[in-house]
Structure 1
Amino acid sequence: MTLNTLFAAMTALFLASAAVAAPVAAPVATTALDNSWQYGTGGGLLGLVVFILDIIVFVEVLKSSRPPAKKFMWCLVVFLFPVIGMIVYYLFSNRDAYQRGAGYEPLA
């Protein structure tokens, strides 16, 4: 499986799960206590921020020089646990060692 196929499959799976996770509520009259941030419902501004940060993590993992099995495992961790997985990735993934061209200096 090529990297592009893996990326397309992971993106499609992530978008499908995000669409299913969106809350469906009956229309209710708006009140002064309207919860526009929608904490805990899987949507809203907070959900959008987490979604964008997770996409950034997926792109960074897939563009890294890790072996394919490790790329898949990091993507799976971030997919299954979006907030916790993203935090664990940024704290424990040793990102500097797996950057493309790490250890090389640019030519003059």
Structure 2
Amino acid sequence: MIQSLFLQILFTTLALGAPLSGGEFHAESNAIGYGTGGGIVGLIVLVLDVLVFIEVLKSNRPPLHKLLWCLVVFLFPIVGMLIYFLFSNREAHKSGGAYEPLP
């Protein structure tokens, strides 16, 4: 059940990532505007979001706060990342470096 739902979501995502124009895609036309949010800008946002996830999971925050920050960044990648960098009090929550296991 879960696997079929995952496959449906995956194929839908791939279909939505196709070129929006009716014609054939040419690599020299506009690589940044290909599909819905891909390209170089999407790669940069993905890398920055992964860095936020790693920093949140390595922090000494309570597990619920870690989960909430990860959900905010996952659901709103650009806005969530900006909110995290601006308002999360990162210096107060730095830890020694190990992951804290969830209960």
Q: How many residues align?
A: 84
* Residues 79 and 28 of structure 1: CA distance in aligned 2, closer, same or farther (over 3 Å): same
- 1:46 equivalent in alignment to 2:41: yes
CA offsets 1:29-49 (integer angstroms, 9 cap, x no match): 5397x1111277221010000
Q: Of 30, 42, 64, which aligns to 2:26?
A: 30
Mapped to 2, the partners of 1:40 and 1:24 lie a distance apart of 5
Mapped partners of 1:31, 1:71: distance in 2: 40
TM-score w.r.t. length of structure 1: 0.66
List structure 1 segments (4+ residues) > 4 angstroms apart after TM superposition: none
In percent, how many aligned pairs have the same letter? 50
Select the residue among 13, 18, 36 that pairs with 1:20: 13
Assess if the C-alpha contact under 8 Å between 2:18 and 2:35 holds in 1.
Answer: no
Runs of 5+ in structure 1 lacking a partner? 1-15, 102-108
Specify the code of the residue in structure 1 equivalent to 2:40.
L
Take 1:31 and 1:58, find their aligned partners in 2: how far apart are those partners?
Answer: 32
Distance change >3 Å, CA 29–CA 42, structure 1 → 2: closer
For the pair 1:89 / 2:84, whether they are aligned, the reply is yes
**Which ranges in structure 2 are unaligned for 5 or more consecutive residues?**
1-8, 97-103
User: What is the alpha-carbon root mean square deviation over aligned residues?
Assistant: 2.7
Q: Find the partner of 1:98 among 86, 90, 93.
A: 93
- TM-score, scaled to structure 2: 0.69
